Structure 1
Amino acid sequence: MRALLLCAGYATRLYPLTLNQPKALLPVAGKPIMNYIMDKLLELPALEAIYVVTNHKFYTHFLEWKNRYKQAAVKKLPLEVLDDGSTTENNRLGAIGDMDFAIETKKIEDDLVVVASDNLFNASLLSFVEEGKAKNKPVVGIYNLKDKSLASKYGVVDFDQNKKLTFFEEKPQNPPTTWVAMALYFFPQPSLTFLKTYLKEEKNTDQPGRFIQWLYRREDVYVWELPGLWFDIGSKEVLEAANLAFR
């Protein structure tokens, strides 16, 4: 099993904080957001390698971070930073494009955990991966915001008693539930072939939820309910709230 961290965005909503610093390396309670995610990934016993895909603008930032993190990490795993070549918002590949780029570049033919680097959470991912491996189907992490007005800003989901996804829509005006999809995915190796088909049929390469919205109509997709804290670091207000919570 491999893991892929999506870190190629430009986070313009957080300017000036992210003008010369990638969002994933912003500190929360004294350490970079990336470190929290990495710490959870390193708990996964089946993990064999971790890839970080970023843009050309912030490539050296992540190389420097990698050297610092590798020195501090106890578990020694291959950790590689990939440069997708983009330099601005105008020529970025998008999250789905970056998934395809990383899979092609590293010739990934294995189960894959994908995490967007603005996901900040404190729960273990062990049961998430166990569920994906047991079902041998895609699994998406979800969180209950308990507020439909907040949920309307995300990909909203619904599911049956077996936790199979029955509804997914990006930013609906009238959400049927308060459950939203995080950018946290488990893809068994056979499911990765669907990505190429999606890219041939659809033009949206940005929001990874668009791929799930397309995929669940073609293959069974399951959900995993994230316990504990979750912050989607998309604004200064959320960043400040995360700092308070993680302190």
Structure 2
Amino acid sequence: MRALLLSAGYATRLYPLTLNQPKALLSVAGKPILDYLMDKLFELSSLDEIYVVTNHKFYGHFVEWKHRYTEEALVKFPIVVLDDGSTTEENRLGAIGDIQFTIERMQLQDDLIVLASDNLFCASLTSFVSEAKRKNSPLLGVYNLKDKQLASKYGVVSFDANGKLSYFEEKPQNPPTSWVAMALYFFPKSILSLVKTYLREQKNTDQPGRFIQWLYPQMDVYVWELTGLWFDIGSKETLEAANLAFQ
């Protein structure tokens, strides 16, 4: 099993903090956001390799981060930093484009965990991986915001008693539930080729939830419920809230 951390965005909403610093390397309670995610991934005994895909502008930042992190942490398996070649918000590949870039660049033929590097949470991913192996189907991390108005800013989901996804819509005006999709996915190796199919058929290369929205009418997709704290760090307000919570 492999893991991919999506880190190629330019985070313009966080300017000037992210003008010359990638969002994933911003500090929360004295520690880069990416370190928290790596710590979660290193708990997974079945993981063989981690990829961090970034843009050309911030590639050097992540190479430096990797050297520091591998020296400080007891690294169990390889970390590969990938440069997707983009240089601006206008020519970026988008999250789904970066997933396909990684699949092709690394010639992936293995199960894949995909995680956006601006997710910050407390729960362990061990039960996520256990559920993914048990279902052997695409698996989506979900979280209950308990506020439909707030949920309208995310991909909103519904699912049945068995955890099978029955509804997914990106940023609906009138959400039917307060359950939302996190940028946390498990893709069995058997479906990796469908990312290329999606990109050929659809125009939106960003928002990986769009791939799930396209996928779930075609096959069974299941959800995994995250409990505890979760921060989607897209603004200075959420960054400050995460700092307070993690201190």
Aligned length: 247
Superposed displacement of residue 72, structure 1: 1.4
Matched, 1:46 2:51: no
Matched, 1:181 2:181: yes
Question: Match of 1:162, as an amino acid?
Answer: N
* Structure 2 residue aligned with 1:77: 77
The correspondence of residues 3-22 of structure 1 with structure 2, limited to 5 A, is 3-22=3-22
SS of residue paired to 1:194: helix
The correspondence of residues 143-154 of structure 1 with structure 2, limited to 5 A, is 143-154=143-154
Superposed displacement of residue 228, structure 1: 1.1
For the residues of structure 2 that align with 1:75 and 1:219, how far apart are their CA atoms? 36
Deviations along 1:127-154, one digit per CA (max 9) or x if unpaired, are 1011111111000000000001100000
For the residues of structure 1 that align with 2:169 and 2:106, how far apart are their CA atoms? 31
Deviations along 1:19-64, one digit per CA (max 9) or x if unpaired, are 0000000000000000000000000000000000000000000000
For the residues of structure 2 that align with 1:132 and 1:192, how far apart are their CA atoms? 15
SS of residue paired to 2:90: helix
For the residues of structure 2 that align with 1:140 and 1:185, how far apart are their CA atoms? 5
SS of residue paired to 1:20: coil
* Structure 2 residue aligned with 1:227: 227
Give 5+ residue unaligned stretches, structure 2. Answer: none
For the residues of structure 2 that align with 1:75 and 1:15, how far apart are their CA atoms? 32
Superposed displacement of residue 65, structure 1: 0.2
Matched, 1:193 2:190: no
Deviations along 1:76-102, one digit per CA (max 9) or x if unpaired, are 210010000000000000000000000
Superposed displacement of residue 196, structure 1: 1.3
SS of residue paired to 1:91: coil
Q: Is the 8 A contact 1:70 1:76 kept in 2?
A: no
* TM-score scaled by length of structure 1: 0.99
Question: Match of 2:102, as an amino acid?
Answer: A
The correspondence of residues 1-247 of structure 1 with structure 2, limited to 5 A, is 1-247=1-247
Question: Match of 2:211, as an amino acid?
Answer: F
SS of residue paired to 2:17: coil
For the residues of structure 2 that align with 1:75 and 1:10, how far apart are their CA atoms? 28
SS of residue paired to 2:153: coil
Superposed displacement of residue 219, structure 1: 1.1
Across the aligned residues of Structure 1 and Structure 2, the Cα RMSD in angstroms comes to: 0.5
For the residues of structure 1 that align with 2:176 and 2:164, how far apart are their CA atoms? 16
Structure 1 window deviating more from structure 2 (190-199 vs 77-86): it is 190-199
* TM-score scaled by length of structure 2: 0.99
For the residues of structure 1 that align with 2:197 and 2:162, how far apart are their CA atoms? 27
- Return structure 1 stretches of 4+ with deviation > 6 angstroms: none
For the residues of structure 2 that align with 1:161 and 1:191, how far apart are their CA atoms? 24
Give 5+ residue unaligned stretches, structure 1. Answer: none
